[in-house]
A and B are shown apart, each in its own frame.
Chain A
Amino acid sequence: MMSHLPALQVVVPLLSAPICVLLGRGRFAYGFTLAISWVAFVISGLLLQAVVQGGAISYQLGGWAPPWGIELRVDLVNAYVLLIVSAIGALVMTYAKPSVDREIGAEQEYLFYTGYLLCLAGLLGVTITGDAFNIFVFFEVSSLASYMLISLGPNRRALTASFNYLIFGTIGATFFLIGVGLLYQMTGTLNIADLAERVAPLTGTRTVQAAFVFMVVGLALKAALFPLHAWLPNSYAYAPSVVTIFLAATATKVSIYVLIRTIFTIFGVEFSFGTMSLGPLLFILAIAAMLLGSTVAIFQDDIKRMLAWSSVAQIGYMVLGLAFATVNGVAGGILHLFNHALIKAALFMAMGCVFYRMGSVRIEAMAGIGKRMPWTTAAFVAGGLALIGVPLTTGFVSKWYLLLASVESGMWWIAVFILISSLLAIIYVWRVVEAAYFMPSPDGAPEGEAPLLMLIPTWVLIIANVYFGMDTRVSVGVAVDAAKALLGGGS
């Protein structure tokens, strides 16, 4: 049983999806999905423990040895990504019931849970697999599910947002697939570890270079890196709250993870940053994302959309870290990947609570909410502080590493941009704070807090943000080790 954990990590949620359809309407679908989410979380916890104790795990699917068979490979880096995806999944599901009841009709609820399970299976699959083609397949599984999930949003514009995402997502996945195809043509293998070895002598060829470009562009689209972010704001703004929380915390992060694998593991630092001079391009795009995302966020009156634009900026931070191609930089990027998942999930959960009570997440709806929903608002403020990067929160730790990386690389101006973007974050977080605490409640505004079932997961994440802001031994240790491994050539 234990030796099959890597396979179970994907197979359990994947096979649960059709069962969930069969369960149909009624409360069984929810209970079942909740249980499966926690099972996935336990499996990833066990996997992490195994990796920490015994090193990387290679699992051969069906007993076919790599590079011919499909390999599932868990090392320190993706063990943590698995953990964060499944942990967010488990928390989101715990939170989901009241919010889903309110935003998605009882008719469609079981389909929602099915979609969620498929999406979870896809994301976990992308993360765990050691096979490049498999990444594409699981990307499609998660993406198709998420198009469906987004279109369940209460506003009809969710449909166009979802369609937009579908177009962009398909282009991204196709580009990635073209890249993988070109690599297969040159090397005859799809196994990532095998690819890494065989690509090295071929880096002079136009085909490999083209493959690199296709894969990076495709992944940048999936990760919503500026200027390929156009699908993100509307999708996050119009999706049901629960979907936004889950996707914002996991989907783009997994894409960034694959980007890291592609740049550092498959192609290697020398090729990516030497031959292809990816560094300057990533710097420019990352900084543009940070400034543009934060600036646009300031002018949004829909707070979910505001947070979505903030995500565009935060993805800029992660990519910025990678662009340094130094230990501190890459560690900063990876740290921000973990930290931002915690921060954004918490913030979107707070917004979900607001929507539950108010039926809107526009800034007008926040007026006086600090008095009526003190716990929700306090959670939003705490999450906002982490987003800004205040010391003793997670946001500070990752920004500290990014600042350190820019100072040690002698690129002062980048430190300035990081801080400008943080200052912009203060402005957009503060707009909400001002409305919540300093504007009078309108007459007849709904009173009372969100249900405890929603508040508790929100606060679990807030406490995690503070805890990992103070005790950084685990998160920083993993990020630095992972960065060293990635830059050292191997995985």
Chain B
Amino acid sequence: MSFESLILLALAIPLVGTVLILMSEGRPNQREAVTLTTAVSLFVVVLQLLPEVYAGGRPGITLFEILPGLEVRFEIEPLGMMFACIASGLWIINSIYSIGYMRSHHEKKQTRFYACFAIAIFGALGVATAGNMLTLFIFYEILTISTYPLVTHSETTEAKRSGRIYLGILLGTSIGLQLVAIVWTWFATGTLDFREGGILDGHLEGALVGLLLLLYMYGIGKAALMPMHRWLPEAMVAPTPVSALLHAVAVVKAGVFTVLKVIIYIFGADFLRESGTGDWLMYIAGGTVLLASFIAMTKNNLKARLAYSTVSQLSYIVLGAALLSPHSIVGGAMHIAMHALGKITLFFCAGAIYVAAGKTEISDMKGIGRVMPVTLFAFMIGALSVIGLPPMGGAWSKYYLALGAVDAGELVFVGVLMLSSLLNVAYLLPIVGRGFFCRPDGAGDEAVAIKEAPVFCLIALCTTAMGCIALFFFADTLYTLLRPIGGG
């Protein structure tokens, strides 16, 4: 099968899956079997493309032309390859987890849940494989709209209110700012293709470059750069599997992925460095890293704390892009993968604790490790990876980010990274410590009975926890795949 048709197949599979899921309304077993089959076959198809991209190929296909020169086009480069692998791979694990979570939680309207999930994955894959900015924009919006019913899944007043904020910020920024930036880019250059070295060189200069960058960076609301981060904590009213795959992986990573794409393939790192108008982005990103970490420390609700942690971690990636050195860009890109696995593990654990013990507040989680040892151990591994300690994958991305900051001569950001790691320790590890070493409130001296989460949840969270460790040992593969995007 040619690579072109593989790309189309990868996009078609989640859509077909959606239809089949809708047709399985009222038959839970069939519906979930369809979801899993779809996810697995998607992952297999995506993997078929990996060797070609690894070897330096850039398979692409143009679907049709909307306006002269303005095409709907797909093309896979290393960054998109990685994102597609993460999104489709974690979809399998997340589907397993969803089965455990949604069933033991007796959620209603599960068919809508699984169907929207499949569409969201379709959106994420489209973002990953988009061959130009317009195509990316289209799928970016599909991702926004398809996740809205997931955020408001519980249909409570609070969920609807959060859903409005979610949709308001994401659609508002993308149409109000990003689309302007896209039209401007089109007008200035006559193309929206992603090209190595960027397309703006020679078409725009001076402060205008900085302004366009501003429009893009805040137009990509999914990257949650402060002060456009409010939607992410709001999205936490969604069921946990949604928070896990979409608001720790697919949606937010689509945001930072777009940031990287824009900086690398629209502006071009060299062009942006020479113009010198992108420095502000480093400071905004650095500021978001620290500020969001501080806010995370004040949150007692576990999912809210994880959400602010995500805001902070996303800005690592933006920072990597803004530093504009080959190491920092590759480091930022690697962090997409590292953080994805770490954070999804943490969310899986948060959901498992909620399902098994009914607890959402951190202050209630004393001694939870004695009741749910497997879950909390996985939580610890995820936390260590997010903090960036070996032997977890997160160590490598932080290493390259710091290296990049040194390359760029911005030593202050090495300090920011270190300080942020300390803050991560401060807001993540106490949960683990108190979970293992304290006794649950109200428990006597006798041994506490173990009551773990449903087995589907456990399978999922153990898999991702092991993934965090595996990424430490296989980071070289990832690095080799991504090296071309740094220009090195």
Which residue numbers of A lie inside 8 Å of B, CB to CB? 390-392, 397, 400, 403-404, 407-408, 415-416, 419-420, 422-423, 426, 430, 434, 437-438, 469-472, 476
Residues of B contacting A438 in the complex (Cβ-Cβ under 8 angstroms): 152, 155, 160
Residues of chain A with a CB closer than 8 A to B180's CB:
403, 415-416, 419
* Least distance between B110 CB and chain A CB atoms (Å): 15
The residue of chain A having its C-beta at the shortest distance from the C-beta of B179 within the complex is: A419
At the interface, yes or no: B390 with Cβ under 8 Å from chain A? no
Whether B138 and A391, one on each chain, are in contact in the complex, defined by CB atoms closer than 8 angstroms, is yes
Residues of B within 8 A of A422 (CB): 175
A426 to B179, CA, bound (A): 15
Question: Could you write out 8 A-B pairs with CB less than 8 Å apart?
Answer: A390-B141, A392-B138, A400-B183, A419-B180, A434-B160, A470-B66, A471-B64, A476-B67
Pick the contact of B187: A390, A397, A407, A469 (CB < 8 A): A407
Q: Contacts of B176 on A, CB cut-off 8 Å?
A: 416, 419-420, 423
Q: Is the interface of A mostly helix, strand, loop or mixed?
A: helix
Would you call B423 an interface residue if the criterion is a C-beta within 8 Å of the partner chain's C-beta atoms? no
A392, A404, A426: which contacts B171 (Cβ < 8 A)?
A426
Interface residue ranges of B336-372 to A (CB < 8 Å): none
Q: Is the CB of A400 within 8 A of B67?
A: yes
Q: Are A408 and B187 in contact (CB under 8 A)?
A: yes
A409 to B172 alpha-carbon distance, docked (Å): 25
Decide yes or no whether B184 CB sits under 8 A from chain A: yes
Choose from A391, A420, A437, A469 the contact partner of B134 (Cβ within 8 Å). A391
For B64, the chain A residues whose CB sits under 8 A away are 470-471
CA distance A407 to B66 in the complex (A): 20
Given contacts A407-B183, A419-B180, A430-B167, contact A437 B175 (CB under 8 A): no
Contact assessment for B183 and A391 in the assembled complex, using a CB-CB cutoff below 8 Å: no
How many angstroms between the C-alpha atoms of A404 and B176 in the bound complex? 15
In Å, the complex CA distance between A407 and B187 comes to 7
- Give me 17 other A-B pairs in contact (C-beta within 8 A), A391-B66, A415-B183, A472-B66 excluded: A390-B141, A391-B134, A391-B137, A392-B66, A392-B72, A397-B66, A403-B179, A407-B183, A407-B187, A419-B175, A422-B175, A423-B175, A426-B171, A434-B160, A470-B66, A470-B72, A471-B64
Minimal Cβ-Cβ distance residue in B for A476: B67
Contact A423:B155 (CB < 8 A) given known A400-B67, A408-B187? no
Q: B104: shortest Cβ distance to chain A, in Å?
A: 25
Query: Chain B residues near A434 (CB, 8 Å)?
Result: 160
CB neighbours (8 Å) of B184 from chain A are 407
Q: State the 4 A-B residue pairs at the shortest beta-carbon distance, nearest first.
A: A391-B138, A407-B187, A403-B183, A419-B176
Please, what's the 1-or-0 string for B161-179, where 1 marks a CB less than 8 Å from any CB in chain A?
0000001000110011001
Asked whether B186 is an interface residue with its Cβ less than 8 Å from the other chain, the reply is: yes
Chain B contacts with A in 24-58, Cβ cutoff 8 A: none
Q: Which residues of B contact A426 (CB under 8 A)?
A: 167, 171, 175
Taking CB atoms, residues of chain A closer than 8 Å to B137 are: 391
CB neighbours (8 Å) of B172 from chain A are: 423
Q: Which residues of A contact B155 (CB under 8 A)?
A: 438
Number of interface residues of B (CB under 8 A): 23
Say whether B149 faces chain A, with CB atoms less than 8 Å apart: yes
CB neighbours of A476 from chain B (8 A): 67
Q: Identify the B interface with A (CB < 8 A).
A: 64, 66-67, 72, 134, 137-138, 141, 149, 152, 155, 160, 167, 171-172, 175-176, 179-180, 183-184, 186-187
Bound complex: CA A438 to CA B149 (Å): 9
CA distance A420 to B173 in the complex (A): 11
A437 / chain B contacts, CB cutoff of 8 Å: 149
Interchain CB contact under 8 A, B187 and A404: yes
CA distance A403 to B167 in the complex (A): 23
Least CB distance from A44 to B in Å reads 26
A404 to B190, CA, bound (A): 11
| Known A-B contacts A392-B138, A426-B171; A404 and B186 likewise in contact (beta carbons under 8 Å) | yes
Complex contacts, B160 vs chain A, CB 8 Å: 434, 438
Q: Report how far A391 CA is from B123 CA in the complex, Å.
A: 14
Q: Which of B167, B175, B184 has the largest number of chain A CB atoms within 10 A?
A: B175
Distance in angstroms from B424 CB to nearest chain A CB is: 36
Minimum CB–CB distance for A360 against chain B, Å = 23
- Interfacial chain B residues near A392, Cβ < 8 Å: 66, 72, 138
List residues of chain B with CB within 8 A of the CB of A391.
66, 134, 137-138, 141
Q: Is the CB of B67 within 8 A of A472?
A: yes
- Among residues of B, the one whose C-beta sits closest to the C-beta of A391 is B138
- Least CB distance from A424 to B in Å reads 11
The minimal Cβ–Cβ distance linking B135 to chain A, given in whole angstroms, is 9
State how many angstroms separate the Cβ of A368 from the closest Cβ of chain B. 11
Instruction: Name the CB-closest residue of B to A427.
Output: B168
Distance from B322 Cβ to chain A, minimum over Cβ atoms (Å): 25
CB of A431 to closest CB in B, whole Å = 10
Within the complex, the shortest CB–CB distance from A479 to chain B, in Å, comes to: 11
Q: How far is the CB of A375 from chain B (nearest CB, A)?
A: 14
Report the bound CA distance from A430 to B180 in whole Å.
22
A7 to B175, CA, bound (A): 46
Q: How far is the CB of B44 from chain A (nearest CB, A)?
A: 28
Q: Which residue of B lies closest to A381 (CB)?
A: B145
B67, A397: Cβ atoms closer than 8 Å: yes
| B149 nearest CB neighbor, chain A only | A437
Residues of B within 8 A of A469 (CB): 66
> CA of A469 to CA of B67 in the docked complex: distance in angstroms?
10
| A287 → B minimal CB distance (Å) | 16
* A471 and chain B: residue at smallest CB distance: B64
List, in ascending order, chain B residues with CB within 8 A of A397's CB: 66-67
Which of chain A's residues has its CB closest to B160's CB? A438
Give the residues in chain A near B183, CB-CB below 8 Å: 400, 403-404, 407, 415
Set of chain B residues within 8 Å of A472, measured between Cβ atoms = 66-67
- In the bound complex, residues from chain A placing their C-beta under 8 Å from that of B134 are 391
In the assembled complex, the Cα of A471 lies from the Cα of B66 at a distance in Å of: 6
Inside 8 A of A471's CB, which chain B residues have their CB? 64
Distance between Cα atoms of A397 and B137 in the complex (Å):
14
Q: Which residue of A lies closest to B138 (CB)?
A: A391
**Residues of chain B with a CB closer than 8 A to A470's CB:** 64, 66, 72
CB distance from A406 to the nearest CB of B (A): 9
- Measured between alpha carbons, how far is A437 from B149 in the docked complex, in Å? 9
Q: How far is the CA of A408 from the CA of B138 in the complex (A)?
A: 24
Give chain B residues whose Cβ lies under 8 Å from the Cβ of A408. 187
Measured between beta carbons, the chain B residues less than 8 angstroms from A419 are 175-176, 179-180
For A400, list chain B residues within 8 Å (CB).
67, 183
In the complex, the chain B residue whose C-beta lies closest to that of A402 is B183
A403 CA to B177 CA, complexed, in Å: 13
Q: How far apart are the CA atoms of A407 and B212 in the complex, in Å?
A: 13
* Interchain CB contact (< 8 A) of A423 among B66, B138, B171, B187: B171
**Bound complex: CA A476 to CA B152 (Å):** 39
Closest chain B residue to A407, Cβ basis: B187
Instruction: Compute how far the CA of A211 lies from the CA of B67 in the bound complex, rounded to whole angstroms.
Output: 39
* Bound Cα distance from A471 to B65, whole angstroms: 7
What's the nearest-Cβ distance from chain A to residue B215, in Å? Answer: 11
What is the bound-complex CA distance between A275 and B51, given in angstroms?
Answer: 66
State A408–B190 Cα separation when bound (angstroms).
12
Distance in angstroms from A148 CB to nearest chain B CB is 41
- Min CB distance A467 to B, Å, is 11
Which chain A residues lie closer than 8 Å to B67 at the CB level? Answer: 397, 400, 472, 476
Cβ distance A315 to chain B, nearest Cβ, rounded Å: 21
Chain B residue contacts of A416, Cβ below 8 A:
176, 180
State the Cβ distance, B133 to closest chain A Cβ, in Å: 11
- In the complex, which residue of chain A has the Cβ closest to the Cβ of B134? A391
In the complex the two chains form, what is the Cα distance from A357 to B172 in whole Å?
34
Cα separation A434 to B162 with both chains bound (whole Å):
13
Measured CB to CB, the nearest residue on chain B to A390 is B141
A390 CB contacts on chain B under 8 angstroms = 141
Q: What's the Cα separation between A130 and B179 when bound, in Å?
A: 41
Complex Cα gap A397–B66 (Å): 8
Q: How far is the CA of A469 from the CA of B65 in the complex (A)?
A: 10
Complex CA gap A397/B171 in Å reads: 18
CA of A428 to CA of B184, assembled, Å: 27
> A399 CB to closest chain B CB, in angstroms?
9
Q: Nearest CB to that of B63 among chain A residues?
A: A470
